[in-house]
A and B are shown apart, each in its own frame.
Chain A
Amino acid sequence: MRLPELLKLTEGRLLVDAKEDVFMDRAYAADLLSDVLALTDEQTTLITGTTSPQVIRVAEILNIVAIIFVRGKQPSDAVLEYALRLGIPIITTKKAMFEICGLMYENGVKPCKDRPMPEKKPSV
C-alpha cells in the first residue's frame, strides 16, 4: 500500500511527507514503546496513539517506514520536524486503532513478523 491509498482509506491527513516513495506491506499497532521495540522485523509501519517525543526516536532506531497516529492525535511540531529530517512520513487519522488495523489488513497489509534472535552464549 502506498501513501495516497492509505490517506484515502483512512480519511487521514499527511503531516509529514516521505522523502522517497514508501511502500507499506506490514504493520504493527501499539501504544507502549517497549512493545514496539520488541519487534525485530524491519520496514514496518507503526500505528499508535502515543505522541511523546520518544515515538520518533523509536521509529529511527527501528527504521520504521511510516507512522500513523490514530484517534486524531498529533505530535508536537518538534517531533514533526525531526520526522521531516529523517524522511519518515507522518499520517494522522480520526479513526481508532482497531478500525485502521482492519482497513489496512483488508487491503493487503500484513502483520510484521517476529524474527528469532541469534543464539546466546551462556553468561560469563
Chain B
Amino acid sequence: MQGSAYAREEALCIEFDVRAGDVEHGGMASSQIKAALKQFGLSEPVARRAGIIAFEGEMNLIVYSDSGGTIRVCVDSEYIEITVQDFGPGIEDVDLALTPGYSTAPAWATDLGFGAGMGLHNMEKNADRFEIHSRLDEGTTISCWVKRRTDDSS
C-alpha cells in the first residue's frame, strides 16, 4: 500500500486510499501511519493513539463504505489531525452509532473480529478533539486531533 505525502500550509500530510471490502489490506494504512509518526519523532503513546484512531476509521471504510474512502493524517506544530472520509452510505443516527456496543456489522465482518460496536467510541476516546459529520446518501467525515505532547508521559 502506497500513501502520498505532501505539505499543507504549516503541516506535513500523508494520505491513503482505502477500498471498500478490502479485508486483506485492512489495517495496512494504519500501521504505516503509526510507523511514519514514530519516524517523525513522535512518542510511542501518541503514535499509538493516532494508530488506533486510524485503524478504527480504516476498518469502518472497509466494512461500511459504498466505494471506499480516504484517511489523511497531517502533523503541525501542536496536533496530529486524522481525517477519515467516505461518500456513502452515511449514518442515519450518529448518536446511536457512537453508543458503545451498537453495531450493524455484517456476518463476514464479525467473523474477522469486528462488530463490537466500539470503533467510533475508541476513536473518540483516543482523540483530544473529535468531530463527526454524516449525512445519509452523502457520506461520513470524521476528524480527530491528537496533541503531539501529552502531560501524561507514560
Q: Which residues of chain A have a CB within 8 Å of any CB of chain B?
A: 31-35, 37-38, 42, 48, 50, 52-55, 57-58, 60-63, 115, 117-118, 120-121, 123-124
The answer to the question of B131 belonging to the interface, with a C-beta cut-off of 8 Å to chain A, is: yes
Q: Which of B44, B55, B117 contacts A37 (CB 8 A)?
A: B55
B side interface size, CB within 8 A: 37
- Residues on B with C-beta less than 8 A from A52 are 23, 111-113
In the complex with contacts A32-B113, A118-B150, A54-B122 CB distance below 8 A: no
16 further interface pairs, Cβ-Cβ under 8 Å (given A50-B113, A118-B152, A124-B129):
A32-B114, A33-B59, A33-B113, A34-B114, A34-B118, A38-B121, A38-B125, A48-B113, A54-B23, A57-B55, A58-B27, A61-B31, A61-B51, A120-B129, A123-B130, A123-B131
User: 18 pairs across A/B with beta carbons < 8 Å?
Assistant: A32-B113, A33-B116, A37-B55, A37-B119, A52-B111, A53-B26, A54-B59, A57-B28, A57-B55, A60-B31, A61-B30, A61-B55, A118-B151, A118-B152, A121-B128, A121-B129, A123-B130, A123-B131
**Contact indicator B112/A115 (Cβ below 8 Å):** no
In the complex with contacts A53-B27, A54-B26, A57-B28, A33-B128 CB distance below 8 A: no
Q: Which of B112, B115, B117, B126 contacts A117 (CB 8 A)?
A: B126
**Contact indicator B52/A61 (Cβ below 8 Å):** yes
- Residues on A with C-beta less than 8 A from B52 are 37, 61-62
- Residues on B with C-beta less than 8 A from A63 are 44, 48
- Residues on A with C-beta less than 8 A from B125 are 38, 117
Q: Which residues of chain B have a CB within 8 Å of any CB of chain A?
A: 23-24, 26-28, 30-31, 34, 44, 48, 51-52, 55-56, 59, 111-119, 121-122, 125-126, 128-131, 147, 150-152, 154
C-alpha gap A63/B1 in the complex (Å) = 21
C-alpha gap A27/B34 in the complex (Å) = 23
**Contact indicator A37/B122 (Cβ below 8 Å):** yes
